[in-house]
Amino acid sequence: MPTRRTVMKAGGAVLLPAAAYGTSALAAAWPNERGARPVRAEVPEPFSVRMPLPATLKPVARSSTTDYYVMTARKANAQILRGATTEIYGYDGQFPGPTIRARAGRRVVLAQTNQLDMDTAVHLHGGHTPPASDGFPLDVIAPGKTRIYEYPNRQQATTLWYHDHAHHMEAEHVYRGLHGFYLIEDPAEAELGLPSGEFDVPIMLRDARFADDGSLHFVAEDFQNRTTILTNGRPQPYFPVAARRYRFRLLNGSNLRSFVLRLGAGEEMAQIGTDGGLLGAPATTREIRISPGERVEVVVDFTGREGSQVILADDHAGPVLRFDVGAPAYDASRVPAVLRPLPPLGEPDVVRQMSLGIDPQDFTFKINGKVFDPHRVDTTIRRGDTEVWEVTNGDTFTIPHNFHMHLVQFRVLSRNGRPPVPAEGGWKDTVPLQPGETVRLQATFTGPAGRYVYHCHLIDHSSHAMMATMEIVD
304-334: per-residue pLDDT in tens?
999 999 999 999 999 999 999 999 999 999 9
Which DSSP letter does residue 19 get? G
Residue 341, number of CB atoms within 10 A of its CB? 9
48-87: per-residue pLDDT in tens?
999 999 999 999 999 999 999 999 999 999 999 999 999 9
Q: Where are the beta strands (DSSP E) in 7-144?
A: 61-62, 66-78, 86-91, 100-103, 107-114, 122-125
Between CA 436 and CA 415 the distance in angstroms is 11
Between CA 218 and CA 293 the distance in angstroms is 19
Three-state DSSP at 313 gives strand
CATH of the domain at 124: 2.60.40.420
Q: Which of 133, 167, 190 is the last residue of a domain?
A: 190
Q: Which of 151, 170, 190 is the last residue of a domain?
A: 190
Q: What are phi and psi of 18, to 5 degrees?
A: -55, -40
pLDDT at 282 over 90: yes
- The overall average pLDDT reported for the chain is 91
Q: Which of 136, 160, 190 is the last residue of a domain?
A: 190
In the sheet with 318-328, reading across from the earlier edge strand, the strands are 238-243, 318-328, 309-314, 259-263, 288-290
Residue type, 43: V
Closest CA to 285 of 425, 384, 419: 425
Residue 168 forms part of a structural domain = yes
- Which residues are within 8 A (CB) of 413 and not within 5 positions of it... i.e. 6 or more apart? 345, 388, 420, 439, 440, 441, 442
Which DSSP letter does residue 446 get? -
Total structural domains within the chain: 2
Residue 101 forms part of a structural domain = yes
**How much is the pLDDT for 396?**
75
| Domain around 112 | 61-190
Closest CA to 408 of 25, 126, 114, 76: 126
pLDDT at 37 over 70: no
**Least confident segment among 12-21, 44-53, 253-262:** 12-21
